[in-house]
Amino acid sequence: MDFGDSPAEAEFRQRFRAWLVDNNPGLPASSTDDDYWAGQAAWHQSLYDAGFFGLSWPTEVGGHGLPSVYDAILDEELAAAGAPPRPGLGYLVHGILEHANDDIKARFLPGLVNGRDRWCQGFSEPDAGSDLASLRTRAERDGDEYVITGHKVWTSYSDDADWCLVLARTDHEVPRHKGISAFAVAMDQPGIEQRPLKMINGITKEFGEVVFDGARVPAANMIGEPGDGWPLAMTVVSHEREPGELGYVARYRKLAKELTAAVKADPTAYDAEQVRQLGWAIVETEMLRHHVSRRLSDRLDGITHGPEGSVDKLLMTWTEQTVGHAALGIGGADHTGDGDDTWLKVYLYSRAQSVMGGTSQIQRNLIARRILGLPA
Ligand SMILES: Cc1cc2nc3c(=O)[nH]c(=O)nc-3n(C[C@H](O)[C@H](O)[C@H](O)COP(=O)(O)OP(=O)(O)OC[C@H]3O[C@@H](n4cnc5c(N)ncnc54)[C@H](O)[C@@H]3O)c2cc1C
């Protein structure tokens, strides 16, 4: 396996690096800060307009149809330049691409990809997180529309979203997985209230609760057929779990390098345990990098992955949390890293990784049942 750049990849890397010199938006280099969320839409649009967004998505929806290794190159260059990560929307794009009819794809994908329409994902509810199939939000048919009533929570980007991909129950008579449908719901309407949630790291813009009280959605905005919401949700969460999609590896490596530089600059200031933590952070980051490279290489060979996404998610979680521990251990709670990120914020955000996109316990259950074939 050769992970070096091909001539075309090297040309792309140089072109993007040169563009970044003039177009780095100067936002916090990670999503651990409100300023990042405030500037994310403009950053998305700037990347798209310059031809650097949606690299591996189909050209019909505004992508570039390139192999996903180009996304990895982009992520490496963003991290190296201290620029913010690219917005991670692949899970929504893939969900709509794989499950929607042509009308929905034509109406919604271009705006999602070019960043002019902001989207959020309304799956989780106060009593339906890991057990998503127990969701209670309902959509009732009324002429050419559905009327939605229910309560979603932990809805990322809900404060500035124009559209929400909502899972709602449309049939109460069938087994619970089969009675769920998916809709593209306009957020700007009287039947929807968005309530921001404050995270432990102080962020208020990342996510909120969304209460639907008689919100209306045209029946033509249903994604797939009635009852197709569950397979769509499984596509969305499987893409949400892929570290290659998310571009996190480059960010972890950069943090590990910053921490290493701090230790090298003043070796006697750190005890053996702090250095051991950093050592693990470096080892796990490299392990994840090779793992993601192998996954990207598989994709180039046309190999797709199913339940193995749960292994990827666990590895990514371990790495982020090990790097977060090392950052806190070495930096202390009030140390400021490169950019505006304090290493405390890095540590606090790392805690969310074992919950978002399906908890670590749920990933282990999936690995046990679907890969190892163990009984439930
Ligand atoms: C940063 C962040 C962003 C998020 N963004 C979104 C979003 O945009 N849209 C959205 O819909 N949701 C989002 N979520 C919600 C996320 O999907 C849920 O938090 C997650 O699925 C867990 O659900 P829960 O919080 O209800 O916990 P619960 O399901 O109540 O789980 C509580 C604990 O019980 C354990 N547990 C539950 N069931 C089992 C089981 N069968 N076996 C073993 N252990 C079990 C869990 O692992 C966990 O430790 C986000 C969460 C975070 C942290």
Distance CA 100, CA 94 (A): 10
Catalytic residue among 76, 77, 125, 240: 240
What does each C-alpha distance from 22 to 17, 76, 253 come to in angstroms?
9, 17, 24
* Domain chopping of the chain, boundaries: 7-88, 119-227, 241-371
CA 180 from chain centre, in angstroms, equals: 23
Residue 362 Cβ inside 6 Å of ligand 1? The answer reads yes
**pLDDT tens, 196-245?**
998 887 778 788 999 999 999 999 999 999 999 999 999 998 887 665 65
129 C-alpha vs ligand 1 centroid, how far in Å? 5
Question: pLDDT category, 247, cuts 50, 70, 90?
Answer: low
Q: Does 240 qualify as catalytic in the annotation?
A: yes
154 C-alpha vs ligand 1 centroid, how far in Å? 9
pLDDT at 205: 78
Superfamily of domain 241-371 in the CATH hierarchy: Butyryl-CoA Dehydrogenase, subunit A, domain 3 (1.20.140.10)
Q: Which residues pair with 164 in a beta bridge?
A: 120, 185
Q: Which residue has the tokens 């805690």?
A: 351
Residue 124 Cβ inside 6 Å of ligand 1? The answer reads yes
The reply to whether CATH 3.30.420.40 applies to domain 119-227 is no
CA 251 from chain centre, in angstroms, equals: 14
Residue 88 Cβ inside 6 Å of ligand 1? The answer reads no
pLDDT at 251: 81
- Segment 124-153 shows an average pLDDT of 97
**pLDDT tens, 63-120?**
999 988 898 899 889 988 888 888 888 889 999 999 999 999 999 999 999 999 999 9
361 C-alpha vs ligand 1 centroid, how far in Å? 10
